[in-house]
Amino acid sequence: MAVVILLGLVGLGVWWVIKTMGQAGQQYTQGMVRAREEGTSIKCQLNMRSVWQMLQTSATVDGAYPQSRQELEHLCGNSRLLRCPDPNGAPYVYLPPKRIDDSSVQIVLYEPNAVHNGRCSVLLSNGQLALIRPEELKAALAQPPHTSILGCPVELLPSLGSV
Ligand SMILES: [Zn+2]
């Protein structure tokens, strides 16, 4: 009788250890996923920072910002800078600022896919980087002066994710 109880207790102990290890493993995996996601959002923001530096160089040297994505690609040389490093990330959308002396803050670069914890990276015309929700991005893009982007209505731009 005592043996049966003892075996039962051992069994319970084994079950408990397996259960705990399983939970720890799950937490570890979730932690890894989170770390990887944070890693790509940092890389994404670093990409945008590099693009900003190129834009500043262009503004200083040429007295103007590139006026199209094609010009920006030419300027950057490395097209990997112009897209999100996340596996689900998309190429960035460039909204050329018209003038370098324009003091109004507007979105210069953004990613259409909200892959960073449900947020999109954006670069503002004052050099600030931000991670905003798709609905905030949509609202910001709907405001003048970007009611129309490259002759294409905002609604026709790639999906901004579910709102
Ligand atoms: Zn990104």
pLDDT in tens, 85-114: 999 999 999 999 877 677 778 899 999 999
**Residues 149 and 110 sit within 8 Å (Cβ to Cβ):** no
> Ligand 1 centre from 25 Cα, in Å?
28
Predicted local distance difference test score (pLDDT) of residue 76: 86
> Ligand 1 centre from 91 Cα, in Å?
9
> Ligand 1 centre from 124 Cα, in Å?
15
pTM for this entry: 0.68
**Does the pLDDT of residue 138 top 70, yes or no?**
yes
Closest CA to 123 of 135, 139, 105, 138: 105
Closest CA to 138 of 116, 115, 119, 117: 119
Domain ranges of the chain: 45-156
Structure tokens at 51: 């693009």
Share of the chain above pLDDT 70, in %: 83
DSSP tally for the chain: helices H, then strands E? 3, 6
**Residues 69 and 94 sit within 8 Å (Cβ to Cβ):** yes
> Ligand 1 centre from 22 Cα, in Å?
32
Q: Is 110 helix (H, G, I), strand (E, B) or coil?
A: strand
> Ligand 1 centre from 23 Cα, in Å?
30
pLDDT per residue as tens digits for the range 21-43: 777 777 777 777 777 778 899 99
> Ligand 1 centre from 120 Cα, in Å?
6
